[in-house]
Amino acid sequence: MTKQLLLGQTLGFSGNPLTSDWADIVEFDSAGGVLIDGDRISAVGNGAALKAAHPEADITDYGDALISAGFVDAHMHYPQTGIIASWGKQLIDWLNTYTFPEEARFGDPAYAAEAAGLTLDLALAHGTTTLTSFCTIHPESVDAFFAAAAHRNMEVVAGKTCMDRNAPGNLLDTAQSAYDDSKALLAKWHGVGRAHYAITPRFSPTSTPEQLMALGALWAENPSCLMQTHLSEQLPEIAWVKELFPDARDYLDTYERFGLLGARGLYGHAIHLEDREIARLAEIGAAVVHCPTSNTFIGSGLFDLMALARAGLSIGLATDTGGGSSFSMLRTMAAAYEIGQLRGIALHPAQLMWLATEGSAQALHMQGQIGALRPGATADITVLDLASTSAIAQRHDKAGDIWDALFPTIMMGDDRAIRDVWIAGRRRHGKSASKAAQ
């Protein structure tokens, strides 16, 4: 297979800029190159040097566009694509009014397949190369998502959403069927190609203790799987959990006591955590996932990113579509910046880009495999046009350095800023780029 050499500005990281000085771990080259051999990145460095060393490579010259690892969305709901930006409800009402009626349609394999394909194509159009998705209670919804991802050769995480109470009857399973369905789907998909299964209780209020225990047992039997759920998203939700689990020490304890707390756990939102929960999550090495557009759109609260990072938690970034109001990880980064400002912290562009790439990959236990612009990583790459609209371009023209040039795209960019997307070494989506075969 012919090697590919991408030329442009390159941005990568050698560490975590939330816990170290970002300037010490940024790897930026204004005249960089990324060499792709097959489906992997084989070298990152000075573009001219790589061109001279690999004259056989096909060259794609992006000029002053920014070559980054592909964006990694660590928490979303592909069955909610059709109801994104639904008006005016907080969490519980939003679920009952919009989410549950839409999810009931996903027992239809054709409907699920159409929604899965649309969601993945929207993600690619916005520069996202990996999605971590909740499906519905229907096994057909899981099959549809993994099949659509395999067709596009995308690295994805997903699982059957399990609920056996406090939801409409047509969306309820049982403790036993949740275990059986999840076990069968796990055996069918986990580790096949680029698919990863996540055991998926929606959240404590929609699972009985018996179901949580069954899913905890399944995770213990399959420790290489991830487990994804929701935690402490809204204050009324937390009060509801206390009513349903009066003996629990806190919300996190409703998972821990049933074997659903572990290093490979992904806990979405995690806004209103108690001190014990923070300490326990850090101790176990679990990840929390920041969903800023959702948190503002549904009125959930202000995630305390830097406090949790200082406490030692692994943190991913996510759109949480359709509770989140955008498919764009650029818009998600902008919302994270805005929430940080309300918390008294001005996140640096390097920190935001790291969250959307390596930070989310780390939360998924895929660091070094995806979300990274470094040798050995899969060549999932997003190329950003840093002057994609007239408003952004006029600010870009006044930029004094790469961060001045990048920040307007983070704050104002959308799918028009996505110059190209590469999946496992193949160009999958993008605008025309200058080709120069050598």
Question: Using only C-alpha atoms, what is the Rg of the chain?
Answer: 21
Give the predicted TM-score (pTM) of the model: 0.96
Sequential pLDDT tens for the chain (438 residues): 689 999 999 999 999 999 999 999 999 999 999 999 999 999 999 999 999 999 999 999 999 999 999 999 999 999 999 999 888 777 778 788 888 999 999 999 999 999 999 999 999 999 999 999 999 999 999 999 999 999 999 999 999 999 999 999 999 999 999 999 999 999 999 999 999 999 999 999 999 999 999 999 999 999 999 999 999 999 999 999 999 999 999 999 999 999 999 999 999 999 999 999 999 999 999 999 999 999 999 899 999 999 999 999 999 999 999 988 999 999 999 999 999 999 999 999 999 999 999 999 999 999 999 999 999 999 999 999 999 999 999 999 999 999 999 999 999 999 999 999 999 999 986 654 444 333
pLDDT of residue 429: 66
Q: DSSP letters of 148-215?
A: HHHHHT-EEEEE-EE--SSS-GGG---HHHHHHHHHHHHHHHTTSTTEEEEEEE--GGGS-HHHHHHH
Residue type at 375 in one-letter notation: P
Q: DSSP letters of 33-61?
A: EEEEETTEEEEEEEHHHHHHH-TTSEEEE
Token reading at 425: 């070494």
Calpha distance 390→395 (Å, rounded): 9
pLDDT of residue 434: 45
Sketch out the chain's domains with CATH numbers.
Answer: 4-70+372-437 (2.30.40.10), 71-363 (3.20.20.140)
Calpha distance 159→182 (Å, rounded): 7
pLDDT of residue 436: 39
Q: Are 374 and 44 in contact (CB under 8 A)?
A: yes
Calpha distance 134→353 (Å, rounded): 24
Q: Are 287 and 316 in contact (CB under 8 A)?
A: yes
